[in-house]
Chain A
Amino acid sequence: MTGDKLLQIEGLTKAYPGVVANDGVGFSVAPGEVHALLGENGAGKSTLVKMIYGLVKPDAGTMRLMGKPYTPAEPRAARASGVAMVFQHFSLFEALNVAENVALGMENPPPMGDLAKRIREISNAYGLPLDPERLVGDLSAGERQRVEIIRCLLQDPKLLIMDEPTSVLTPQEVGILFHTLRKLSSEGTAILYISHKLEEIRSLCDGATILRGGKVVATCTPRDKTARELAEMMVGGEFKATDRAQRTLGHTIFEVKDLDLAPMSQFGPALKKVTLSLRAGEVLGVGGVAGNGQEELLATLSGERVSAPGTVLLHGQDISGLGPNDRRRLGLQGAPEERLGHAAVPAMSLTDNALLTGTVRRPLTNRGFLDMKAARLFAEEIIKNFDVRTPGPHVAARALSGGNLQKFVIGREVLQYPEVLIVNQPTWGVDAAAAASIRQALLDLASKGAAVIVISQDLDELMEIADRFCALNEGRLSAPRDTEGLTLDEIGLMLGGAHGMQEAAL
């Protein structure tokens, strides 16, 4: 039995202070198998793959690779044994070209000319065309991911670990990636695939191990289950879908007209002629791959960046030149994507973080003087209403898990009852149950008559809650379409198709 397994794991345990991240985890992967690791955030998937990749040492348990004991002391040892990993966050230098970036990740890089040739060969062989001479800063997210994948493939891995690889891709790009992964698997390379996207897992993976609370709770063949069944196995209970109650749309309250913005950083996108309008009670979904202007859009709408006169209007009033607090006073609130350091101050308490945006619409100050008691009560109100799991409002923001902090951030804005709320990636890295409650909160706010803009890379999320959908691609916003009846293919084309990447020739 051991002989025909590529990777076999038994009783793997890893404890951190106060939490057992992995508790006696065991599973196996056969050569050529595409195996999914499923679980909510905090279920222990990351710890598990970090142990396999040699980043974390297990407290107990054994791993065998190709029948032999496998105890990688560091990622270099893992790579030498034939294990490669593509991380969710790329580690690439924008100012260097593709070949230089690949060379930086290799132990003994060959001469640049040879390497460029090898990159061309491999990338063509696997249907991921890539020009080794191009600057990484000019590549799309999908192309950057190719660089990471090709860097791994150059080592001829036996096991390829991929952490949420499709979160940055358009549907067409996902198609290309899946072609490549299937080809790799047909050649005998096993793939360990981590994703939240259940439909993807059903179409791609041969087997799945489901983790909950650090333990393996089930193994299954994903094709034989529905996405709903998979979700219920992950959360260990019935999955509550969001309630999209009937909403009546009011008149237009928020308009953006021909909004331009220069890039905020060297390789950042510019906003070009962004135009949209929003009615009371409406949820507008803005889809798009990260780095296409989402951050810039949020910054100009929330007031962190000002724009030319007449470009941003609330109730017909020009607010283009107003700062964030003036816009809050008029009823426009925002919640940026980056929780730690942007939407919240990591080292400050939740009470202080409630003050961060809450002083304008809530009576938390008296002629500029802080009313700490009122602030604490406001923080407690957010914690209670949004089920933020924390010992209390005195806890520092950075001590909260990502999902809990996100609930706090969204709660802070929602409980100020804005007329227009703009959120960027409201459920990024948030577990399924918390994500559902955040989506529900946004819908509830809309049903009370607020206009909500949800910027997200998660198309399923946008289809679930948005009334209209538009795509942000290289700083341009497409014309909105009703989400009802919109197909995945149409969405993909709105998102810029394969972003100019060539289709796999397989």
Chain B
Amino acid sequence: MITLVKRPTPSRGWSYTTPLLAVLATMIVGGLMFAALGKDPAQAIRMIFWDPLFGPNAAYFRGQLLVKAGPLILIASGLAVGFRAGIWNIGAEGQYIIGAICGASVALAAYPAESHLLFPAMIVAGALGGWLWGMIPAVLKVVFNTSEILVSLMLVYVAQNLLAYAAFGPLKNPQGFGFPGSRNLQQYPSAHNPELFAGTGAHWGVLAALIAVIGAYILMHRHIAGFRIRVAGEAPRAARFAGVVPARLVMFCLGLSGALAGLAGLFEVSGPSGQITDGFNAGYGFTAIIVAFLGRLHPLGILLAGLLMALTYIGGDMAQMMLGLPGAAIQVFQGMLLFFLLGFDVLTNYRIRIGRARA
């Protein structure tokens, strides 16, 4: 008989160990799944976790790692602040899209003028767009007490339609021979978000992600505002008692996570992607939710989790190409990571006792 006994104080050791255990369990169960699909599990796992870093073509893939990890970390840092407060922004994908559209619009409106002020203006526009898209669920929650989970999620689909409209309509490249999609910002020097160090994949967005991690750490762990945010998530009544105004908290958290997601969209559209197309969004906004939890909602954890998640993206693509693994299998594999993490999380708050079943 196995019983769970609640720990009086959450275990510190386990809260650090569970992410590693989750990765390990994902490798084992994922390996079994790959074997069931008729692939060599050892080879598949090595291809996902090892080859992108140390394999024969690692030089190329390592650059990709930061390109993928940057937006994940940037978005997840913002989401984690809200999650800590119990405010669930599930619509970062939408805020990411709107940020990209707003940022790109500023660039395309200025085209072909060259100016050092253009890129900063785009950054402001991107953040503002994401912030505005995040404020919609925030205001609705404060005024009508709607669920921010549902509203922010549904706004993703609205954003996707706006994206398609922009790509086929107002932002379409007039010299694009009728193809949908905007001008490529990579060919517009003032608007381009270039690789800062050749071969690393690090563009301005990666730098922004690093700043976000540090900023989030200072806010959440060194400042009274972050302390109150954590209290609000743990015990809402105690937060009120400590002087937190719930409406302001909702606005702050959704606004911040929206702005960071918008920034991620702007850096993507002006950098690696280059243009607004109707398939511009790649699911970073949703994957960032996994990253936030995998990183224990802690900024430094998110940094590591973002890198790990980026690795499974790249390695997964490789395994798909080289081993013929179905794309869905890779998604299941990534989902497992969150599943096992939440499962092993029980150990942080509970002890397992095997033996006598006495309550």
Task: State the A residues within 8 Å of B (CB).
Answer: 17, 56-57, 59, 302-304, 323-325, 328, 334, 336, 338, 340-349, 352, 355-357, 359, 365, 368-370, 394-396, 398-399
Contacts and interface: CB of A to CB of B under 8 A. Distances in A.
Interface string B157-172: 0000000000000000
Given A348-B231, A356-B231, A343 B241 contact: yes
B117 interface: no
Contacts of B9: 349, 394-396, 399
A365 B222 CA distance: 10
B243 to A, nearest CB: 4
B358 A345 contact: no
Contacts of A370: 222-224, 227
Which 3 pairs between the two chains have the least Cβ-Cβ distance?
A399-B8, A325-B243, A396-B9
B231 A345 contact: yes
B238 interface: yes
Interface string B228-244: 00110011011011110
A304 B242 CA distance: 9
9 contacts: A56-B359, A304-B240, A324-B240, A325-B242, A338-B237, A341-B238, A348-B231, A349-B9, A395-B8
A334 B238 CA distance: 12
Contacts of A323: 243, 245
B10 interface: yes
A472 to B, nearest CB: 20
Given A324-B242, A328-B243, A356-B241, 11 more contacts: A336-B241, A338-B237, A341-B235, A342-B237, A345-B231, A348-B230, A348-B234, A356-B242, A370-B222, A395-B8, A395-B9
Contacts of A338: 237
Given A56-B359, A345-B234, A345-B235, A324 B241 contact: yes
B5 interface: yes
A56 to B, nearest CB: 7
A29 to B, nearest CB: 25
B359 A357 contact: no
Contacts of B238: 341-345, 356
B241 A304 contact: yes
A425 to B, nearest CB: 15
Contact of B358 (A57, A343, A399): A57
B248 to A, nearest CB: 11
Contacts of B140: none
Interface residues of B, number: 22
B225 interface: yes
Contacts of B5: 17
Contacts, number: 76
A349 B12 CA distance: 12
A56 B359 CA distance: 7
Contact of B359 (A57, A340, A346, A348): A57
Nearest to B6: A398
B14 to A, nearest CB: 14
A343 B240 CA distance: 10
A324 B227 contact: no
A346 B227 contact: no
A368 B224 contact: yes
A58 B120 CA distance: 71
A369 B219 CA distance: 9
A323 B246 CA distance: 12
A352 B222 CA distance: 12
Nearest to A305: B240
A490 to B, nearest CB: 35
Contacts of A342: 235, 237-238, 241
Nearest to B9: A396
B55 to A, nearest CB: 43
A282 B10 CA distance: 42
A460 B166 CA distance: 73
Contacts of B234: 345-348
Most A CB within 10 A of own CB, among B222, B224, B238: B238
A357 B242 contact: yes
Contacts of B242: 324-325, 356-357
Nearest to A346: B235
A368 B225 contact: yes
Contacts of A345: 231, 234-235, 238
A396 B223 contact: no
Contacts of A56: 359
Contacts of B224: 355, 359, 365, 368-370
B296 to A, nearest CB: 14
B222 A341 contact: no
Most B CB within 10 A of own CB, among A17, A57, A59, A345: A345
A53 B243 CA distance: 43
A324 B359 CA distance: 41
B221 to A, nearest CB: 8
Nearest to A298: B241
A27 B5 CA distance: 31
A263 B330 CA distance: 53
Nearest to A326: B243
Interface string B321-359: 000000000000000000000000000000000000011
A324 B245 CA distance: 10
Contacts of A369: 222-224
Nearest to B12: A394
Contacts of B231: 345, 348, 356
A341 B86 CA distance: 14
Contacts of B227: 352, 355, 370
B247 to A, nearest CB: 12
B79 to A, nearest CB: 21
Nearest to B8: A399
A355 B230 CA distance: 12
A323 B238 CA distance: 14
Contacts of A341: 235, 237-238
A396 B10 contact: yes
Contacts of A349: 9
B231 to A, nearest CB: 6
A302 B237 CA distance: 13
A303 B242 CA distance: 10
Contacts of A348: 230-231, 234
A355 B225 CA distance: 12
Interface in B52-85: none
Nearest to B232: A345
A345 B231 CA distance: 7
Interface string B123-156: 0000000000000000000000000000000000
